[in-house]
Structure 1
Amino acid sequence: VRMKTCSHYVNCNLHSKRVLKAITKERLSEARSGGVKLCIDLSMMQYMSTKETSRLAAQIRRLYGSNKKATNPFHLYLTDFSEDSLLYKECVRMNDGFLNYVVSATSVKLLVYVYILGGLVDESVQKSLTYEKAQEYQLCTARLPVEEYMVKKENAKNFHSQILAINQVFDILVAFCESHSWIEAFKVGFPAGKGYTLRTELIQCKE
């Protein structure tokens, strides 16, 4: 009897996983036809080291995982993404099922009305690379309203940084699109280790 019960449980569990996988795939497919477009601009590979490129591949994996879990996923684009590039090879090596990712590949020049994240891991701090590229293409730019909603928090290392990985920025955008609240978005997506906390007066007003 125990074996039968265990087998039944396993079968139900596998069935549930298949259903969830099918629902996720359907949501991602729907996003490709009517979802908000968001692209990762991967045209700056020449500015990154091998280590930085590997880190970017890992961030793309986390970003895609977040999009799969989102109630209303984005239509993701990877622009200027070449199959003979180191980044492509790292994505395939590090990300299980990468070749089955539900994303689109194109040139950023062909996209209209789309949010763009600069696909750049920059440990050497080359300032304004993505901003200058946006200016080159005459694109509107925006920053996350961190300073309007957050303040520096005292910590032992006196460390404060607004520099975020692309998957962290993405998590904040997903949370904002679902909650329509920057307070909720930063609460969910802004890493505590960055040395910032939400403004107490904003939290009190919300409560």
Structure 2
Amino acid sequence: MARPPPSPRPPSGVGVAGAGSVPPFSRYLLLLLRGRAVAPGGRPPPVSAHAPLRPGRGFSGGDGGRRGDRGRLFVGGGGGSLRGPAAAADRTVGRRPRCGAGGRRGAVLGAASRDGGRASAALAKERLLEAKAAGPRLCVDLGMADCMTRKETSRLASQIRRLYGANRRAEKPFWLCLTEFVVGSLIYEECFRMNDGFSNYLMDTTEESYLDLFPLDAIVYLTPDSENVLEDIDPNKVYVLGGLVDESIHKKLTLQRAREQSLQTARLPIREYMVKTVNTKNYHSETLAINQVFDVLSTYYETRSWPAALKAGVSSGKGYALPDAVK
């Protein structure tokens, strides 16, 4: 019995159309949209065809394509507004890889910058922990926070941020401590509101007073109204700054507080190393913000030079300058 002639084979990559089947070209287009078709010549489809298309501007519904003004359907990366990994992959198709000295130099500099940043942060942390173990201590007394307005409290929170930043950059930092830092108080809320990453600051914060933390004979309260001049920085001492921004200038408030607590007091040697300058308002003040006082202390601790330290912390607006600057 003679065999029936074999059926003709369909073209490669295209399905057979029969009753209820998808026409060959439509099936190929459908496979292409799903990322499963092989383009003519054996080449794989574009990279963007492997990722699901996302409707974006100009896309009609979720059909995976975009219809232009003339009703044509654009597939893959042919003008659609792809986003995310698919878009990034699509943008790299056909692009020359970066090469040459410029590309390599940029990559090396970028890696060095990242490594340098991590090394700098690690070094700063190491120095701060060394200061905690053996360095001088600096406390900011927040026990007078109730005397300030909200505006003054916000300014103090900003000064604390600047003080901490300067200490973190210092080659010989102090170990910082905020005392009477009461949870829920206005200064507490402002420090967290205004200072990003405040909870990660490498310093001590406590609701206790410095009187309960350190021996009285180790505490030196720094106040501009003191009769005693600070001559040197002793690593065994605890230096206290009054956490106070007083726009109404209540004079001798910190001095009075220190005397009531029977503490040693000292002032910066501004009068001893600087001279008054002539200004239109005849204004001269030795009252500095806590971050400015710290700039003086930190510079002196590193250089052992009061002129250099005072130059770093006392601005010209205070009405004082070094004698050489006046000449």
**Superposition TM-score, scaled by structure 2 size:** 0.59
Q: Distance in 2 between matches of 1:133 and 1:159?
A: 26
Of 15, 18, 23, 2:118 maps to: 18
Q: Residue 307 of structure 2: SS of its match in structure 1? A: helix
Q: Distance in 2 between matches of 1:148 and 1:133?
A: 25
Q: Distance in 2 between matches of 1:194 and 1:170?
A: 16
Structure 1 counterpart of 2:291? 167
Q: Distance in 1 between matches of 2:104 and 2:270?
A: 55
Structure 1 counterpart of 2:214? 111
**Which aligned pairs between 1:104-183 and structure 2 lie closer than 5 A?**
104-106=204-206, 107-109=209-211, 110-112=213-215, 113=218, 114-183=238-307
Structure 1: which 4+ aligned runs deviate by more than 3 Å? none
Percent identity of equivalent pairs: 51
Choose 1 or 2 for highest CA Rg.
2
Letter in 2 for 1:111: F
Unpaired runs of 5+ residues, structure 2, are 1-98, 219-237
- RMSD between aligned alpha carbons? 1.8
Between structures 1 and 2, the one with greater helix share? 1
C-alpha deviations, 1:63-93, integer Å up to 9, x for none?
A: 0011011111101110000121111111111
Structure 1 counterpart of 2:308? 184
Structure 1 counterpart of 2:153? 53
- The number of equivalent residue pairs is 203
Q: Distance in 2 between matches of 1:49 and 1:132?
A: 21
Unpaired runs of 5+ residues, structure 1, are none
Q: Give the drift of 1:159.
A: 2.8
Q: Distance in 2 between matches of 1:93 and 1:28?
A: 24
Whose relative contact order is higher, 1 or 2, with alpha carbons under 8 Å and at least 6 apart?
1
Q: Distance in 1 between matches of 2:249 and 2:105?
A: 57
Of 95, 115, 139, 2:195 maps to: 95
Structure 1 counterpart of 2:131? 31
Structure 2 counterpart of 1:63? 163
Structure 2 counterpart of 1:195? 319
Q: Distance in 1 between matches of 2:148 and 2:205?
A: 21
**Superposition TM-score, scaled by structure 1 size:** 0.92
Q: Give the drift of 1:163.
A: 1.6
